[in-house]
Amino acid sequence: MKSRVKSYASLIKISHTVFALPFALVGYFLALREGYPLRWETLLPVLLCMFFARSAAMSFNRYVDRRFDAANPRTALREIPRGVVAPAGALLFCAANALLFVATTFFINPLCLALSPVALAVVLGYSYTKRFTAWCHFILGLGLAIAPVGPYLAVSGTLAIAPVLLSVIVLLWSGGFDIIYALPDEAFDRGQALRSVPAAVGRKAALRISTTVHAACAVAAVGLGFYAMNNVFYWLGCALFVGCLAYQHRIVTAGDISRVNVAFATANGVASVVYAAFCICGMVI
């Protein structure tokens, strides 16, 4: 039983929760700043929704891409190609988490319940986008961009400009770093008729696109600061966040992609946690 739990935890890459969860908490605290009270009966369902949606998305991605994962040396040791998790088991796990996600939104508010199928369509639909568009990275970004808006809606029942700006930051940030993450699969994607920015335009141009997207992300982060978060904590967190963006473009170049995983996991993990921590400190201190 323990090994089975460990296998499914590895399947959904729990460590990658660090990309979306910090921004979800920022969205939650943005709503609290509007005068809504901190209530565990709201916060707990929000956290559960994050877990269920992400678990459904990751397990579905692994199920849908199992044939490509098995053929790609970089991903051949993932759980389904290795036989640690059966395809049917992954699909059942996805369905269970999707149902739990929708059921949990029922206990939040009617708006979140009504929008839950839309959120699922985005996070599950991403897995098919590499079949027909090189801009699939930004569908992934859109899925992650739900993270700050969802908690704000859960608390307030309405939408506002600040969480939308935060979602734009998340979309540009994650879309840009997913282009970097796709660099090692450039040749494989072409050979399998899969679409990605690196496969479409080559490594050098892909990095230029990623740099441009991250520059736009930095502009959006500055814009959010002037619009809604103009305090010393935010500006310090913003500077560190932008520094992490710049760092990954410094260590990954067209001539050397050996540190893609450092850029993807380490730099972006630090970026999200630090940025969120300083955002929240600026709102509560």
pLDDT digits (tens, 9 = 90+) for 187-201: 999 999 999 999 999
Task: Flag the least confident range among 31-40, 72-81, 121-130, 132-141.
Answer: 31-40
Distance CA 97, CA 78 (A): 20
Token duo for residue 165 = 């700006």
**Fold of the 2-284 domain:** Tetracycline Repressor; domain 2 (1.10.357)
User: Do the Cβ atoms of 20 and 51 come closer than 8 Å?
Assistant: no
Distance CA 278, CA 29 (A): 12
Nearest Cα to 21, choosing from 45, 51, 42?
A: 51
The pLDDT value given to residue 1: 66
Instruction: Look at residue 3 and tell me whether its pLDDT is greater than 80.
Output: no
How do residues 148-207 score in pLDDT, each as one tens digit? 999 999 999 999 999 999 999 999 999 999 999 999 999 999 999 999 999 999 999 999
How do residues 95-109 score in pLDDT, each as one tens digit? 999 999 999 999 999
- Give the C-alpha distances (Å, rounded to integers) separating 170 from 130, 176, 190, 249: 20, 10, 28, 17
Task: Flag the least confident range among 6-10, 15-19, 83-87, 171-175.
Answer: 15-19
Place 4 in a pLDDT band, splitting at 50, 70 and 90: confident
Token duo for residue 140 = 């992934």
Q: What is the mean pLDDT of residues 200-216?
A: 98
How do residues 42-60 score in pLDDT, each as one tens digit? 899 999 999 999 999 999 9
How do residues 126-150 score in pLDDT, each as one tens digit? 999 999 999 999 999 999 999 999 9
Degrees, nearest 5: CA angle 94-98-104? 145
Domain boundaries, the chain: 2-284
User: Do the Cβ atoms of 267 and 204 come closer than 8 Å?
Assistant: no
Neighbours of 41 (CB within 10 A): 8
Q: What is the mean pLDDT of residues 11-23?
A: 85
Distance CA 163, CA 142 (A): 14
Question: What's the mean pLDDT when you consider all of the chain?
Answer: 94
Token duo for residue 93 = 């796990």
